[in-house]
Amino acid sequence: MVRENCGVVAAFSLSNENVIPLIIDCLRALQHRGQEAWGIAIPNKTPYKELGLVTESSNKFKEIIEKYRSNAAIGHVRYSTIGKSNLDNAQPLKVSDLCIAHNGTIANVEELANMVGGCTFTPQNMNDTLLAAKKIVKLLNEKNDMNNALKILKNDIIGSFSFTFVTDENKIFAARDPKGFRPLVLGYHKETETFVVASESCAFLSIGAQLIRDVKPGELLKIDESGLDSQQFANEKHAHCAFEYTYFAHPTSIMEGINIYIARKSIGRALAKKFPIKADVVIPVPDSARPAALGYAQELGLEFEEGLLKDRYSKKGKLRSFIEPYQKDREEIARWIIPIKEVINNKHVVVVDDSIVRGTSSIAIINAIRHAGAKRISMIVSYPAIRFPCYAGIDFPSREELIASNVEDINGIDKAVAEVIKADFVGYNDPDTLANAIGLPRDELCFTCSTGDYTNLGLIERPIFKSRREVKGE
């Protein structure tokens, strides 16, 4: 099964300008959402795909821009967790006359494969996006209407999606799942009269486009030569991913009207009220936790320092440890976070991190700070304890890998995790405090990975899906 948390983009120029340069720049701005592969698609051509970072292909940009010249295009950056990092799994994918790019996870792929029919997927080659595309094409043949197709598709799938599509008839579509798990925003690039849809608004900043608004959960946008059209294929209670606000999204992005950097700083301030520690210095785990650490220090009037630095020139330094697919790579990246002894030595250090998933990095970081001479280490965590897998687009593949999932007494999680990572104190955020600090109603945010309440996904009980190890046959 291929599960992804990726970045998508779509662009349509009403004045017939070539949108490929805009697509490439947007994909570069969305690179933090996926670094394994990228691709673009235009009408009536096989999608262009490459492995690695977008900038690694910069010597081919000129050729790509000319060869794929089009006023309508979509693009994708990919992060996979199980599927091999090969070009077959890279997106966009083409089925019949429809190209698709997907951010999210469709968890019930086996069920969907049966509905599509004629598929011979094995657990190793299952691709949720390909199945969704086949299903949509099937529904389009029956209904001849994308909105009606999505009305049916939403009932057949468990999971999340932000889709962008381009058709051979030169139309762009963009759709966000009814709960709005994954982000999707609409913008406009004035110079080229181009409507742009992207996973995050940081993509618009990179091309000088204006953010118009979020694509609404359950909304379908169609953009063609007659302009922009909007339809609603579902109206449900929202469940925006709270994890985007603490970890995944870019600090410059605006989601549901809230700037991510401001939200993270506000989360830090809220954590300072929840855990007012009289420390000598507050340091962030780079990079996502920096605004929260700053907010924490400012609220308590404590010294804020950069006590940990990433070695950006090492091979793994460009990657983020949580989205590295393999354990040895995560261990590798922890080695490249280097403490500054002069900031830490002989001090009570509060180290702020955005989350603790498997705990591998936390163990290495606490160890490094201890060796740099800290006399006491308190770890404050922006996101509540992650105890359950996510089936809505972020890779927490199996419960056994989550450090907090094995603690039976929920009230004892802070203490139990502190023992494992060898910190003197661990303070986790909680869903109410986090929602309040973000500025969204608690019941419009998803916290399933913390609470285990899977009703957001339409499930009464926690689904039993195959773990990554089971899928890989390990």
Q: Which residues bind ligand SF4 (CB under 6 A)?
A: 181, 241-243, 390, 392-394, 446-449
Distance CA 313, CA 173 (A): 39
- State the minimum distance, in angstroms, from the CB of residue 321 to ligand SF4: 16
The C-alpha atoms of residue 370 and residue 378 are separated, in whole angstroms, by 11
Least spacing, CB of residue 449 vs ligand SF4, in Å: 3
**Cα distance between residue 294 and residue 284, in whole Å:** 8
In 322-353, which positions are buried (b, 16+ CB within 10 angstroms) versus exposed (e)?
bbbbeeeebbbbbebbebeeebbeebbbbbbb
Q: Which residues contact 430 (CB under 8 A, 6 or more apart)?
A: 274, 384
Residue 298 has a CB neighbour count (10 Å cut-off) of 15
Q: Is the dihedral of CA 295, 298, 300, 302 positive or negative?
A: positive
Compute the least distance from the CB of residue 143 to ligand SF4, in Å.
Answer: 29
Active-site residue (options: 6, 26, 446, 449):
6
Rounded to the nearest whole angstrom, what is the least distance from the CB of residue 395 to ligand SF4 in the complex? 9
Tell me whether residue 140 is exposed, middle or buried, using C-beta atoms within 10 angstroms of its C-beta: 0 to 12, 13 to 18, 19 or more. middle
Cβ closest to ligand SF4, residue 79 vs residue 447: 447
Residue nearer to ligand SF4 on the CB measure, 267 or 283: 267
Strand, helix or coil for residue 259: strand
Residue whose structure tokens are 């009289």: 278
State the nearest-atom distance from the C-beta of 104 to ligand SF4, in Å: 9
CB of 242 to ligand SF4, least distance (A): 5
Query: Does residue 6 have an active-site annotation?
Result: yes
Cβ proximity to ligand SF4, 53 vs 390, nearer residue? 390
Residue at shortest CB range from ligand SF4: 390
Q: Under a CB-based contact definition with an 8 Å cutoff, are residues 166 and 95 in contact? A: no
Q: Is 103 or 129 the residue whose CB approaches ligand SF4 more closely?
A: 103
DSSP per-residue string spanning 62-74? HHHHHHT--SEEE
Question: Given the DSSP bridges, would you call strands 219-224 and 227-232 parallel, antiparallel or unpaired?
Answer: antiparallel
d(CA 334, CA 376): 20
186, 215 Cβ separation under 8 angstroms: yes
| DSSP letters spanning 266-302 | HHHHHHHHHS----SEEEEPTTTTHHHHHHHHHHHT-
Rounded to the nearest 5°, which phi and psi values hold at 459? -115, 135
- Report in angstroms how near the CB of residue 132 gets to ligand SF4 at its nearest: 18
Least distance from ligand SF4 to the Cβ atom of residue 154, Å: 16
Burial letters 401-413, b for 16+ CB under 10 A, else e: bbbbbebeeeeeb
Compute the residue count for the chain: 474
Looking at residue 305, its amino acid is E
Of 48 and 322, CB closest to ligand SF4: 322
**Residues with active-site annotation:** 6
